[in-house]
Amino acid sequence: MTAAAMQARVPQTPRQSADQVREILIVDDHPLMCDALALTLKISFGLKNVRTARSLGAALDQIRSQGAPDAVILDLNLPDARGAEGIVTLRRQLPDVPITMISADLDGTMISAAMAAGAQGYVSKSLGREALVDSLRRMWEGEHVTPDGYAPEQAEAEDAAKAELARRFATLTPQQMKILRLICQGKANKEISYELSIAEATVKTHITAIMSKINARRRTQAVLLANTVRLFEAG
């Protein structure tokens, strides 16, 4: 992603120093990964408070109850969020907090989608301790960090368009995001109504609002736009 496109999409104010990061939230459903990462961060950065959450929903609950962390490390695939959805949702709650996507999936289009959605960086789960610590330090000082060898596959204009689209998705309410996810799964209004235990008329009202927010005229177009930024699917 080019520098100009980055500047167009990044809402947060760069941090002057990684030393300002004192409280981190790790969102990963693998207990061993969470524990190992938390221990690494405590030792490497001298942190006393490293919070963990096993799902996106748990992370949001924790942010509401305990406040915003100074930085977030987010797994690509969670029980309740895949692809760029986690970043889009967290970016709405944490507009000024650096969010690092961590994954074993180094697909170029997924990295592009994550960065366009507002990630400060994207790192591999296979990184060694020193490389991981260095990458996080650089991100917390305001740099955008991606895996070695990664090269954006889209032109600058397309990068900026994806970033704008991700911002539009970030305006959806949690309920609207659930409904859009079900639309992308091919569910009809009646099925969405049953699954979410809401009236079919309420579903239609939400869909009208979704279409307006993301500037889509048809359900198929909404699905295409969601797929463009890899909103619900990592692979």
How is 36-76 classified by DSSP, letter by letter? Answer: HHHHHHHHHH--SEEEEESSHHHHHHHHHHH---SEEEEES
- Report pLDDT for 11: 44
Q: In this structure, is residue 152 part of a structural domain?
A: no
- The reply to whether 128 and 187 lie within a common domain is no
Is 223 found in the same domain as 120?
Answer: no
Side chain identity, residue 166: A
- Residue 161 in domain: no
Q: Give me the pLDDT at residue 162, please.
A: 78
Residue 73 resides in a domain? yes
Number of folded domains that form the chain:
2
Range of the domain at 182: 171-228
Residue 147, domain member (yes or no) = no
pLDDT of residue 159: 66
* pLDDT at 149 (0 to 100): 81
DSSP 8-state class, residue 20: G
Closest to 22 measured CA to CA, from 72, 69, 66, 68: 69
pLDDT for the residue 53: 94
Written as one letter, the residue type at 70 is D
CATH code assigned at 217:
1.10.10.10
Sign of CA dihedral 33, 36, 52, 170: negative
Q: What pLDDT tens digit does each residue of the chain (235 aa) get?
A: 443 344 444 444 444 566 778 899 999 999 888 889 999 999 998 888 899 999 999 999 999 999 999 999 999 989 888 888 899 999 888 998 999 999 988 888 888 888 888 899 999 998 999 999 999 999 999 999 999 888 765 545 566 777 788 888 988 988 999 999 999 989 999 999 999 999 999 999 999 999 999 999 999 999 999 988 888 875 4
Residue 82 belongs to domain with CATH number: 3.40.50.2300
